[in-house]
Structure 1
């Protein structure tokens, strides 16, 4: 998967699913900037006794869960069974 744009469907499926489609580096940076501005607003505002309002984070797609634990080694016979089913 070389030379594909970071917003391509192939990259999205490799990242975790269709919800990642269109989420390139520029969109992730824009979401991070949105969250940083909201945090700065909460930190520097003069809210008085009520306290700072809770501003929700920009919605992002969920990441693919990481594999925990070692992978079990497969034999050549197991791999052959998987491919011969087709």
Structure 2
């Protein structure tokens, strides 16, 4: 844990508990107590954000995920009602973007390939369908 997220733990121990992580190494805080403190870090802590996947997850706590689900359900309900009553069916709404679900920008990748004479072209079957 310290190898992967050491800097985040140092910052969170200082920010939330007023402790130095070096106090654990020095022995003034037991490892069991330090582990309990790590387990009780709030969702917005830098350690939790880093463990979830990085800065893209900043601000995404339980409330944010619930709000995104609520937005998706309102959009789907609105779409279902309008599709039921419309002559021409509207497009199905896209889900609210959550961290970790962002797709790579294919056009940017294609531009990089075109500008690089040493790059190999992307096979047609790997390109997204419009």
Structure 2 spans left out of the alignment, 5+ residues: 1-37, 102-130
In 1, Cα distance between equivalents of 2:47 and 2:79: 38
TM-score normalised to the size of structure 2?
Answer: 0.44
Deviations 1:57-81 (A, max 9, x none): 2111006xxxxxxxxxxxxxxxxxx
In 2, Cα distance between equivalents of 1:8 and 1:49: 50
Pick from 64, 81, 86: which aligns with 1:27?
Answer: 64
Contact 1:8 1:22 in 2 (8 A): no
Pick from 70, 73, 84: which aligns with 1:36?
Answer: 73
Give me the CA root mean square deviation. 1.7
Alignment of 1:18 with 2:55, yes or no, is yes
Q: Which has the larger radius of gyration?
A: 2
TM-score normalised to the size of structure 1?
Answer: 0.63
Structure 1 segments, 4+ long, off by >6 Å, are none
Deviation of 1:47 (Å): 4.5
Q: Which has the higher helix share?
A: 2
Structure 1 spans left out of the alignment, 5+ residues: 64-86
In 2, Cα distance between equivalents of 1:9 and 1:58: 24
